[in-house]
A and B are shown apart, each in its own frame.
Chain A
């Protein structure tokens, strides 16, 4: 069983209480590829596998919440859609905190850790949403988010009054509003909740949630957000969370592109790029991202914490947002061209710091 020593950010540390029940699996769950061209039939009833929460643990959570807000603690069941780089550690944190969690993922075998825990999958998002009080989603892009929420056997088909859908995927405003409408049409509550932070913060439960939508749902899931993250914001109407996330990632993408220019320039000018990294760390633009990513970039390695293709998607969506308000963004535009070039070089699945390769390639042809 995977170790998780970090549970709550806003509650004082408590020793880990292991679930007293082991997870058991009764039969193989079916896996379905979820895409509109292959309409998914309702599969034969699969067993529902979840990590049972020990009541001793839950009572301890309740006693430690201490807030006068009635919905501070959460005793219901949780669905989790999307077990990629982010979804897997986030779901595991919920699991290890003792919550009752069920899963669905488009492709089989995405998560070895969860398989080791004996966790298996639900057959489709609709089934998950109908059986859980709150369903979370962590998907790659607007297309996946819409499919999962609004497609055949999607969340909207299974959700009903009193149930909540929290979409943590990073999407554009129009997509989020579309999903919100569809969920509400079917009686559910909706909260967009994209996160700031990549793989390691996800593992460490140190994400930042930028939520917007239904305030009551936000309050209901607050304790769950606190398991997965270190801070959370409620920003008002649907679209505000999406916009905030895109703007943050746009700044990040431009900064990484500029940092890449600096590393390459220093090297070609006869300086030691590792010393540039040290100099930067001493001054006004000392940034965790530079210190963390710089050394591997100097070695031309880009271990994936945040895939370049997703960073480029975020730049594109941010520029789309800027377009809707006719806002010039010359640096973001220039940076986006580099990410596109890097994708064309086949670097989509590398860490987004691989954008430096796009500059090197231009150098080679000049």
Chain B
């Protein structure tokens, strides 16, 4: 199967590599073209613009950092819309708000092509290991056609219905994750301030009803004040913001998420945006 792949950041690069290694023919594009070189060494073709990639491929996947990038790739000059046409499929796996996703969907549909939003749950390591959870919505036929690719990229995929549902599901998941990381950080800091051993707290948490992979994976580094980026804090804060905006639209109170978001914002102000989102731990007392 041949696919186009737009966006070779932390996630996109790992995903494109998995597709190549599983025997897919992949044509890649990245805003900074030099990032395509590693992929070319593994057998990928390079497209110089998003439209060039669309022209070549029946199916194109996009993995971009935020709504602005996702819209730009579609609507700007040399963008997706210039070459997308009937018979082609566009699969946007970026995490965006449902309004952005709908905008893209409508523009793609107008050209006669089919659209699938498919944001993922999982960061760098699951991307590398093909263990993502894919939250797809939109064109069901296109979803079925993409299953072979999804099986390579992830461990499980969900089809959630109409466009917007995938985006919303992703935002809800990441909102809970952000609040959990903040609660966890508060606990670690309080333990330290109270003279307790923080590793013991980690051990106790891991034995009980609130044990989870995130605490297990991130806890030890956080105790060392180390935050190597698997999921950049700036993207986590973007997701909190989008989730709160959604809750605003439909009048759902979210006091805990709102409180957590304040610290994520503070962390960005303190230039921690490119650190792992666990760096919120450091921001609490800054």
Contacts and interface: CB of A to CB of B under 8 A. Distances in A.
A248 B191 CA distance: 10
Nearest to A306: B209
A327 B254 contact: no
5 contacts: A197-B209, A252-B209, A258-B260, A327-B189, A331-B183
Interface of A: 196-198, 208, 210, 230-231, 233, 235, 240, 243-244, 247-248, 250-252, 254-255, 257-259, 261-262, 264-266, 268-271, 275-276, 278-280, 282-289, 292, 318, 321-322, 325, 327-335, 337-338, 359, 362-363, 366
B121 A261 contact: no
A340 B214 CA distance: 29
A33 B182 CA distance: 44
Given A247-B191, A271-B165, A331-B256, A366 B176 contact: no
A235 B198 CA distance: 12
Interface in B150-198: 155-156, 158, 160, 165, 168-169, 172-173, 175-177, 179-180, 182-184, 186-187, 189-191, 193-197
Interface string B212-251: 1110010000000000000000000000000100110011
Which of A247, A257, A289 counts the most B-chain CB atoms under 10 A from its CB?
A: A247
Contacts of B270: none
B187 A261 contact: no
A245 to B, nearest CB: 9
A235 B250 contact: no
A251 B184 contact: yes
A280 B207 contact: no
Contacts of B252: 261, 264-265, 268, 359, 363
Contacts of A233: 200, 203-204
Which of B203, B204, B285 counts the most A-chain CB atoms under 10 A from its CB?
A: B204
Given A279-B158, A363-B251, A252 B210 contact: yes
A271 B160 contact: yes
Given A247-B201, A332-B186, A265 B121 contact: no
A255 B205 CA distance: 13
A235 B194 CA distance: 12
A196 B254 contact: no
A251 B210 contact: yes
A197 B121 contact: no
A334 B256 contact: yes
A72 to B, nearest CB: 22
Contact of A261 (B158, B182, B257): B257
A276 B172 contact: yes
Q: Give the 4 A-B residue pairs with the shortest CB-CB distance, closest first.
A: A254-B183, A258-B179, A334-B259, A330-B259
A335 B166 CA distance: 27
Contact of B212 (A264, A268, A270, A286): A286
Contacts of A322: 190, 193
B135 interface: yes
Contact of B259 (A210, A248, A331): A331
Contacts of A289: 209-210
B246 A251 contact: no
Contact of A265 (B172, B262, B284): B172
A161 B212 CA distance: 44
A311 to B, nearest CB: 12
A328 B179 contact: no
